[in-house]
Chains A and B, each alone.
Chain A
């Protein structure tokens, strides 16, 4: 774990991280987002700006609507029957909550990784080529090169290059999660949504995935839901703290990681990040 404290790793934001996040250009603007499941409200009036190229961590206790919030950003909330989303999420000059949004195009630009690694029951190679081909990408040699390049990017190439045709479900949990990341990255998304990507992994493999997330900074906009405050502190540029108020999840504070952890404005946030509550 000492690797975590190496000088290239960012315990202090803004000092030693790759460029790409400094200008804080908004890429997604969430306005008054509320979500109900049937008659039960799950999330109320969330307003948050996601800056381009940064890693935004969404933290908070269980049941505060973090994951619900995340699924609104790529409209995966549509899969839940009776789920009603109101408010607006502006992304690339349009409100993606609008009925006429092209979901295929949206989800191609806004990729997602889940808590439990979920590679398809196909070979390692096909896990990458199937989505690529579906979106009309190159075939033959170009496709092979793309597969190699993306597997290198997630550090999986050396581990799997001799068994690309083996079932992906034979990989270890950490490898599966990196494959899922590769599968999302291969479509070249602008934004990556990560729903507790390390919490189903042991600390070592979780650390590998965490390093990988950090390496995406600048190149992609990352929104990561995490239970792990230490992780949020290590990797995030921006932190959004969600809380349960009157049984409904809501955003209580957001800002640069330094502010949230060292000088929080809200008393609740202060207690939460100090481990007194939550």
Chain B
């Protein structure tokens, strides 16, 4: 632009903050690069140390020699069960609460303010505190002991605030036009909610779900106290089960010579997270599409 011929009309005065603009641009770019770099470093480190120890057998065998040898089959199963229990409880409760907050308490009622306040506090509570609470309530008071059930329920408590908040935001982002249109057609509130509002809020729900699953999969502290660290194949939800994160912690901290398998397990965990994220978005996309077109 600088070489362009001088315009006939007086040009706009040049801003005097050119250097500041450039500095900010440079800063923004370096922050972005820094974060990408850190992410790549972590993944690269994991892959470099973990990949050589990965094999099909690692996924299908039971651990041996305190995890130094063998695989992680029972640990994978326990992890899935714990996350499954967590979602089975938190999803209906979370969506229900979000519906209450977004659709049935528009006027900032006292119950809504109480629920929202509690959620904000809960979202900030350290996971070890959730662990202590889960241990006291589920393991001891309710007699579930160290079990997959206790662990899953404790995780559900942790995941709920995230799930509720993002589903609520999703519902609030649905234009009021739909509510008005539905009411003007004499559609019941339930039908409107079920057929129009919730599907329209699905993107928010999916984000909450992905964040929630991420938090559940990566939780360690809360599970140490609740689902325990027995590395056997669980026979039921009342058996103790070791999650992938607890396994990594144990191998890295308590088992001399366990680092290699700790890395391999970490690669499995990160891959699992990525796969679940992608699958969740894709399934939601497909479901939404079906919802739009199916008669």
How many residues belonging to B are interface residues under a CB distance threshold of 8 Å?
A: 25
A123 at the interface (CB under 8 A from B): yes
Q: 1/0 contact trace for A36-50 toward B, CB 8 Å?
A: 000000000000000
Are A74 and B196 interface neighbours, CB within 8 A? no
Contact A121 B178 (CB under 8 A): yes
Tell me whether B106 is interfacial, beta carbon within 8 Å: yes
Q: Does B107 contact A (CB under 8 A)?
A: yes
Chain A, residues 101-120, CB within 8 Å of chain B (1/0): the string is 00111111001101010111
The number of A-B residue pairs with CB atoms under 8 Å apart is 77
Produce 1/0 per residue, B176-209, CB < 8 A to A: 0111111111111001000110011000000000
The answer to whether B55 has its CB under 8 Å from any CB of chain A is no
Q: Is A106 touching B186 in the complex (CB atoms < 8 A)?
A: yes
Separation in Å of the A142 CB from the closest CB of chain B? 14
Is A59 located at the chain interface by the 8 A CB criterion?
no
* Bound Cα distance A146, B199 (Å): 26
8 Å CB contact of A183 from B177, B185, B196: B185
User: B186 contacts A103, CB within 8 Å?
Assistant: yes
- Please state if B292 and A107 are interface contacts (CB–CB under 8 Å): no
Interface segment, one of A126-134, A203-211, A259-267: A126-134
Q: Check A74–B184 contact: CB distance below 8 A.
A: yes
Asked if A121 and B196 make an inter-chain contact with CB atoms under 8 angstroms apart, the answer reads yes
Residue of B nearest to A115 (CB): B177
Cβ of A180 and Cβ of B106 under 8 Å apart?
Answer: no
Q: Are B195 and A135 in contact (CB under 8 A)?
A: no
Q: Are A134 and B188 in contact (CB under 8 A)?
A: yes
A187 at the interface (CB under 8 A from B): yes
Min CB–CB distance A140 → chain B (angstroms): 10
Q: Which residues of B contact A19 (CB under 8 A)?
A: none
Instruction: Determine if A76 is an interface residue (Cβ-Cβ < 8 Å).
Output: yes
Given the known inter-chain contacts A81-B107, A126-B293, please indicate yes or no for A107 contacting B188, CB distance below 8 A.
no
Query: Would you mind naming 10 contact pairs between A and B with Cβ atoms under 8 Å apart?
Result: A107-B185, A107-B186, A120-B181, A121-B178, A121-B199, A122-B291, A123-B292, A131-B185, A167-B292, A183-B185
